């Protein structure tokens, strides 16, 4: 009679559990990459909004922060209405008459170097035409802002690529390549958006 003996290897602490199920985290990796790239665009938009162009628009003051009498900070659009009087002046109308002076201080402290004039509860904001030197300086600022946004987007790309590479051995090589291609396409899309937004801003700055 033949007797068969089956030996099992005792699992030691630290050994990998071959029965463990691999969790595919790529969906969240991609979602995080998109979120970070969107954040880069949002930061770029805020930076570009601070720059004065040859056109007068209510959005010029979107970046202004108002500190009320209680020390509470609010974006200007949350506490006042901004309208265009003509191509040289803006009108700012605070929703609360008690914060007129606070709004004036906020506008005056803007990087745009504006000099608002208060008449009653209305604030008139003259917007002088930018000089040639100012335009040249601001074009350099736009270029720097674009590069900062692109660097942020590429960091998000690298983080996602590293996460994709870590899944080697759990999914096929074709899936790895497909995911890497998706991340590359996302990166190109957001970099192009940065370029388009900055070119549009430069066009606003140039006379004529």
Consecutive H or E run containing 81: strand 80-86
In CATH, what is the architecture of 26-49+131-205?
Orthogonal Bundle (1.10)
Query: Averaged over 10-33, what is the pLDDT?
Result: 68
| Residue 83, strand partner residues | 91
Identical fold at 26-49+131-205 and 58-126? no
pLDDT confidence of residue 13: 47
Give 59 or 29, the one with higher predicted confidence. Answer: 29
pLDDT confidence of residue 111: 76
Res 17 pLDDT > 70: no
Q: How far is Cα 152 from Cα 178, in angstroms, rounded to an integer? A: 23
Query: Averaged over 1-16, what is the pLDDT?
Result: 42
Structure confidence by residue, pLDDT tens digits, 27-52? 999 999 999 999 999 999 988 887 77
pLDDT confidence of residue 207: 67
The whole model's pTM is what? 0.64
Annotated domain spans of the chain = 26-49+131-205, 58-126
Res 5 pLDDT > 60: no
Phi and psi torsions of 84, nearest 5°: -95, 125
pLDDT confidence of residue 40: 96
pLDDT band (50, 70, 90) for residue 20: low
Query: Averaged over 135-151, what is the pLDDT?
Result: 91
Specify the 3-state DSSP secondary structure of 86.
strand
Do residues 205 and 51 touch, judged by C-beta distance below 8 A? yes
Do residues 79 and 68 touch, judged by C-beta distance below 8 A? yes
Q: How far is Cα 82 from Cα 76, in angstroms, rounded to an integer? A: 9
Do residues 62 and 75 touch, judged by C-beta distance below 8 A? yes
Structure confidence by residue, pLDDT tens digits, 166-191? 887 778 889 999 999 999 999 999 99
**Domain 58-126 carries which CATH code?**
3.30.1360.40
pLDDT confidence of residue 22: 63
Res 8 pLDDT > 50: no
Give 208 or 95, the one with higher predicted confidence. Answer: 95
Structure confidence by residue, pLDDT tens digits, 63-92? 899 999 999 999 999 999 999 998 889 999
């Amino acid at each position: 009679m033949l007797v068969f003996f089956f030996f099992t290897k005792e699992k030691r602490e630290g050994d990998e559990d071959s029965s463990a199920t691999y969790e595919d985290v790529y969906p969240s990796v991609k979602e995080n990459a998109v979120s970070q790239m969107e954040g880069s665009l949002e930061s770029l938009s805020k930076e570009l909004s601070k720059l004065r162009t040859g056109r007068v628009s209510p959005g010029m003051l979107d970046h202004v922060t108002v500190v009320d009498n209680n020390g509470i900070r609010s974006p200007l659009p949350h506490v006042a209405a901004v309208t265009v009087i003509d191509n040289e002046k803006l009108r700012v109308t605070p929703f609360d008459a008690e914060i007129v002076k606070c709004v004036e201080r906020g506008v005056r402290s803007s990087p745009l170097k504006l000099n608002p004039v208060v008449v009653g509860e209305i604030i008139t904001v003259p917007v002088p035409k930018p000089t040639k030197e100012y335009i040249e300086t601001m074009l350099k600022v736009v270029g720097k802002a674009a590069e900062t946004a692109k660097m942020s987007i590429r960091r998000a790309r690298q983080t996602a690529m590293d996460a994709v590479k870590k899944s080697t051995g759990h999914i096929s090589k074709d899936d790895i390549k497909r995911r890497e291609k998706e991340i590359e396409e996302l990166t190109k899309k957001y970099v192009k958006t940065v370029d388009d937004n900055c070119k549009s801003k430069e066009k606003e700055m140039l006379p004529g």
